Amino acid sequence: MSKQSTTHQESFTIRANEVDITGKATLPAILSLFQEVAGNNAKALNFDITDMHEQNLTWVLHRMDININRLPDWRQTITIETWPASGDALRAYRNYRILDDSGNELINCLSYWMIINLETRRATRIPEAVLATRLTEREHVTPVKSNRIRPFRDGDKNISFTVRRSDLDMNNHVNNARFMEWMVELLSYEEIHSLSNFDIVFMHEGLLGDTLTSSVKHTEEKSVSFTLSNQTEQPIAVAEATLRN
């Protein structure tokens, strides 16, 4: 397929329920917008979640590497550009760019996706029809990472949440934006607004009724690590973030 048929753009105006007390868009709100445009693009290409469910398969997000120049403001109109990119038989990529009305890049993100079988909940090969629609000639917005983010047990600060029905998505597990929300809850507004990178890895599912504990550790002066664990102390998501000087 051509670049024109795989690249997708949508414009949004940041709403009041998508900002914090300072009027800046929250990172969970940004992730929700990423989900929206990704789903719409995938639907146009015939491999969105509903198409996958017909094959007893579904998409799951494995990693998001987010670079932040500036968070959008309340009532600001932004354009989100997204496109699928080349990967391998088990992993797909999707790129995102958020632009202001002058074309300046506010945020970019490279996301890593896998397909699982809905019955076994295990990863499976990506269907050939999906692989054939990847955009291969366009570079990623940021390099692919292969490093592992290691979980930790004893954080500087911890907070626990019980998974509610409103936290679940159409895959019947905790939506990835909630994972981000529970991590950044441990940061001050000053720290959130000075984030330049947030690299989050989703390791296991969070399910209805689970008690999840979010922990943060300030590893270096401008580096922060997160671990989200369930009631059995199994890490289900980890992240590393970098703050601006």
Residue 137 lies in a domain: no
In a domain, 224, yes or no: yes
Q: What values do phi and psi take at 196, rounded to 5?
A: -110, -25
Residue 60 lies in a domain: yes
Hey, is 29 helix, strand or coil?
Answer: helix
CA distance 238 to 100: 30
Strands 223-229 and 123-124: unpaired
CB proximity list for 183: less than 8 A, separation 6 or greater: 200, 214, 216, 226, 228, 237, 239
Residue 149 lies in a domain: no
Q: What is the CATH number of the domain that holds 186?
A: 3.10.129.10
CA distance 236 to 96: 24
Same domain, yes or no: 102 and 52: yes
Q: 180-209, pLDDT tens digit by residue?
A: 999 999 999 999 999 999 999 999 999 999
Domain range for 210 is 157-243
CA dist 43 and 35 (Å) reads 12
Instruction: Decide: 42 and 104 in contact? Cβ < 8 Å.
Output: no
Instruction: Dig out the tokens for 149 from the structure.
Output: 């983010």
Asked which of 116, 131, 146 is the last residue of a domain, the reply is 131
141 lies in some domain? no
Provide the CB-side half-sphere exposure for 183 (13 A, CA): 29
In a domain, 151, yes or no: no
User: What confidence score (pLDDT) does residue 137 get?
Assistant: 67
The total domain count for the chain is 2
User: Is residue 138 one of the residues assigned to a domain?
Assistant: no
Say if residues 138 and 86 touch (Cβ distance below 8 Å): no
Q: Residue ranges of the chain with pLDDT lower than 50?
A: 1-4
